[in-house]
Structure 1
Amino acid sequence: MNHTLAWRLVSGVKINHLCTPRIAIPSKAVTGSQQVREFSTSYKRSTVMPAWVIDKYGSNEVLRLNNNTEFPIIHYPNEVIVKINATSLNPIDVNMRNGYGSASLNMSRDPLNVKTTGCEFPLVLGRDLSGVVMECGLNVRYFKPGDQVWGAVPPWKQGTLAEFVVASGNEISMKPKSLSHTEAASLPYVTLTAWAALVNSCRLNKQKCPGKRILIIGASGGVGTAAIQLLKAWGGHVTAVCSEDAFSLIKDIGADEVIDYKAEKLEEQLKSKQPFDVILDNVGGTTEKLALQFLKPWSGATYVTLVTPFLYNNDRLGIADGMMRTGVTLSSKVVKHLCKGVHYRWGFFSPSGQSLDEIGLLVENGQIRPVIDEIFPFSEVPKAFSKVEKGHARGKTVIRVTESSK
């Protein structure tokens, strides 16, 4: 195979290297000062990479380490290729392994439905990333090769349980310098989920949060620990609901009051508290009906749950009927609770490099710190899935993809 020595223009930075161009397009006849401009390039040794993939949905047995996974390619000018140093697992990764949400996610991957069934396989799971930018699309202006970044990619894209991943420049941010890659990988997905619920759904921010009383149900998991720290950084009063064995952790990250939901009926314990301005529910189910009665009525108080039937309805009924059923469910609950003087909302993860910029400042100021339950090497990804699947998390489960964790 012939190799080409070429200047590669990436975000205004020229890199001279020996490469095998995937697509090399001279602007016209190449003269003395003209250069070959490449849309995407990879080294010969990097045409494949190791990644954990699934070829069908199912239990942990479907996870497979494939050392010959195709190297990712930049398809759009706002994309970057990131070499992943560390990633982490979230409950959504376990659910996606089982096939949850496949109808909706496949619609996002193939809106016109022109591909065959099963075209998403081999599928790489994982949402969080912390690593180093290796290549940038032509429109990327805020990053360059060599930048250390963190971020979270949306569920309809190939994930981060791999050596490299393609992400939009809008989905990543500069990694906080105070964090190692292992620490940084634990934060993006959960902090962005908490951010979306509190900021987008409840309209909280550092100006509006001081003096507000917030109840967090399911506080010891990744989203719960992130939400507590975010709210305390903004001056809110946080009451956290978790089991007694997580009390020390929850108090250490700043919760003002902690309730053990196992000690006695949660309803009885909440009756002794003042009404809340915001309730963030990470558990769902019976807690939804229970919690809503403890909001301050006719004061703009909001209940937001992260447990919604949206993806389940689409999986069970199909996209059209599922979305109709979901719309009816949401609108009926919104109207029902609005008549009682409180707002009812659903919260969803939303990738945002801009939000991560603000979260990164809080990290650098010591107001948000990683809460890591356990770290696994890349070779033990199935064990990490088993741990997350058991539930009762005390922070995040992190995967160290490369040997370096700095």
Structure 2
Amino acid sequence: MKAIVQDEYGEAAAVMRSDKIDEPDVGAAEVLVEVVVAGVDRGAWHLTAGLPYPVRLAGYGVRAPKDPVRGREFAGRVAAVGSDVTTFGVGDEVYGVGEGCFAEYARAEVSKVVPKPKHLTFEQAAATPISALTALQAVRDQAKVQAGQKVLIIGASGGVGTFAVQIAKAFGAVVTAVCSTTKVDLVRSIGADHVIDYSTEDIGANRVRYDAVLDIGGGRSLTELRRLLEPKGTLVIVGSETGGRWLGGIDRQLRAVLLSPFVSQKLTMFVSSENAADLAAVSALIEAGQVTPVVDRVFPLNETAAAITYMRDGHARGKVVVTI
């Protein structure tokens, strides 16, 4: 099959190339998916670059990638099923989280796959799994957003952010979104009640205090973020890159967790759970018309490196996807 592969860690343009490789073997509880479109999430860059270094210790290879194919979210059709799989059949249209999705075929655990919502395009579906799961769990499980609460979302125009705005609105929150000038109209169009352009406005100038702050795209200090919260408010740090090669922002998240027991506010970090139950919950929000995936650009498979670079550099309005 045709795939985008890499033999070493580095920037996508330098290490990725197109090649022909064998189709992946499918385990008993897995499905083989004919990938129609693959999503490009922030993790695609981390796994390509091997940064920050702890990423390599998570089973992906210390000196070089164990698996040469990147990409972990997809929309496509089931091509084969493992011996224990009874929920899907060949030809079913599905989306979810898999391994090696920048290729014509990818394998996925059946516990991370659900039927594709019928009215979504494959491009929209591929843009959804990882970013929407992260947003849902940040809003629902970590911030525990309730109707009428004031929620601030920093980094509202990216993959996770566009889903977080819509999910918080679906839960009845009053959402203030933070983004750059060129993305203000987009964020308004997906339902944000208020938009702050961080390039021209001080994020705290309005003196509003929020019940929950989701920091998806920033390196603001904990002190600054706590000033934006109500005394009993909740801060959820979602990603928030700093560019460090060793910790890359994880140090700030760890400081938040260590500080939390000593202050009235709840300061949290989390790692999203990739599971079919929550992805089905996302599908329900999509089918109810409360959430619509935002797709910025569609790249062909042979331009996967350019897609990753475009996303990494912060250009994306919503998600970037790759057609196979």
Distance 2:202 2:253 in 1: 28
Please tell me the residue identity of whatever aligns with 2:5: V
The correspondence of residues 6-405 of structure 1 with structure 2, limited to 5 A, is: 49-59=1-11, 60-67=13-20, 69-75=21-27, 77-101=28-52, 103-108=54-59, 118=63, 120-153=65-98, 158-204=99-145, 209-269=146-206, 271=207, 273=208, 275-297=209-231, 299=232, 301-307=233-239, 316=246, 330=254, 333-401=256-324
Cα distance change on mapping 1:356 and 1:374 into 2, 3 Å? same
Please tell me the residue identity of whatever aligns with 1:150: Y
Distance 1:132 1:102 in 2: 34
Per-residue CA shift, 1:345-370, capped at 9, x if unaligned?
11323211111111111111211112
Please tell me the residue identity of whatever aligns with 2:239: V
Distance 2:134 2:111 in 1: 16
> CA offset at residue 287 of structure 1?
4.9
Distance 1:356 1:136 in 2: 20
Q: Secondary structure at the match of 1:265?
A: coil
Per-residue CA shift, 1:313-347, capped at 9, x if unaligned?
xx749xxxxxxx96x973x5335344331001113
Which structure 2 residue ranges, 5 or more long, are not aligned? Answer: none
Alignment RMSD: 2.5
Is contact 2:73-2:129 (8 Å) kept?
A: yes
Is contact 2:219-2:241 (8 Å) kept?
A: no
Distance 2:9 2:192 in 1: 38
Please tell me the residue identity of whatever aligns with 1:202: A
> CA offset at residue 103 of structure 1?
4.2
Per-residue CA shift, 1:137-179, capped at 9, x if unaligned?
12222212111101123xxxx4210111111011111100001
Is contact 1:56-1:121 (8 Å) kept?
A: no
Cα distance change on mapping 1:333 and 1:385 into 2, 3 Å? closer
Is contact 1:192-1:350 (8 Å) kept?
A: yes
Distance 1:337 1:366 in 2: 36
Please tell me the residue identity of whatever aligns with 1:177: K
Q: Secondary structure at the match of 1:307?
A: coil
> CA offset at residue 57 of structure 1?
0.7
Bigger relative contact order, structure 1 or 2 (CA pairs below 8 A, ≥6 apart): 2
Q: Secondary structure at the match of 1:223?
A: helix
Per-residue CA shift, 1:18-50, capped at 9, x if unaligned?
xxxxxxxxxxxxxxxxxxxxxxxxxxxxxxx11
Cα distance change on mapping 1:65 and 1:369 into 2, 3 Å? same
Please tell me the residue identity of whatever aligns with 2:23: F
> CA offset at residue 306 of structure 1?
1.6
Please tell me the residue identity of whatever aligns with 2:215: D
Aligned to 1:30: none
Distance 1:287 1:250 in 2: 24
Which structure 1 residue ranges, 5 or more long, are not aligned? Answer: 1-48, 111-116, 318-324, 402-406
Between 1:213-222 and 1:347-356, the stretch displaced more is 347-356
Cα distance change on mapping 1:284 and 1:311 into 2, 3 Å? closer
Distance 1:311 1:374 in 2: 24
Distance 1:234 1:169 in 2: 28
Is contact 1:284-1:306 (8 Å) kept?
A: no
Per-residue CA shift, 1:370-405, capped at 9, x if unaligned?
21111111222222123123213211111111xxxx
Q: Give the % identical residues.
A: 33
Bigger Rg, which one: 1
Is contact 1:305-1:347 (8 Å) kept?
A: yes
> CA offset at residue 125 of structure 1?
1.0
